Amino acid sequence: GAGVSQSPSNKVTEKGKDVELRCDPISGHTALYWYRQRLGQGLEFLIYFQGNSAPDKSGLPSDRFSAERTGESVSTLTIQRTQQEDSAVYLCASSLVSEIQYFGAGTRLSVL
């Protein structure tokens, strides 16, 4: 596709449930990033994938958060046992190696 695509655009879930968020990067982009944006705040880095290298997970806030990426394509961010403080917009970005990051529109997660 032309840009980074994320789905769903909105997700409402109940506290304690698991959620999966999907990111389709720009075709050919080897790097993929997940960020979290809490209401009224800037973006916090979560995790970074680059090719077949081990991902940089240094930004994941707890072991309830995990992410996978298949090759250089789709990535899923999974949040287990969601808590209200997980409510945020989750943004995905992709880039060529050592190039500018391009962002998707994000998934707005609301945990009730």
Partner 1 sequence: GEDVEQSLFLSVREGDSSVINCTYTDSSSTYLYWYKQEPGAGLQLLTYIFSNMDMKQDQRLTVLLNKKDKHLSLRIADTQTGDSAIYFCAESRNAGNMLTFGGGTRLMVKP
Q: Which residues bind partner 1 (CB under 8 A)?
A: 4, 6, 31, 33, 35, 40-45, 48, 50, 56, 59, 91, 93, 95, 97-106
Tell the smallest beta-carbon distance from residue 81 to partner 1 (Å).
Answer: 26
Tell the smallest beta-carbon distance from residue 37 to partner 1 (Å).
Answer: 8
Tell the smallest beta-carbon distance from residue 92 to partner 1 (Å).
Answer: 9
Tell the smallest beta-carbon distance from residue 16 to partner 1 (Å).
Answer: 28
Q: Which is nearer to partner 1, 14 or 54 (CB)?
A: 54
Q: Which is nearer to partner 1, 68 or 99 (CB)?
A: 99
Secondary structure in 3-state letters for the chain:
CCCCEEECCEEEECCCCCEEEEEECCCCCCEEEEEEECCCCCEEEEEEEECCCCCECCCCCCCCEEEEECCCCCEEEEECCCCHHHCEEEEEEEECCCCCCEECCCEEEEEC
Q: Which is nearer to partner 1, 26 or 80 (CB)?
A: 26
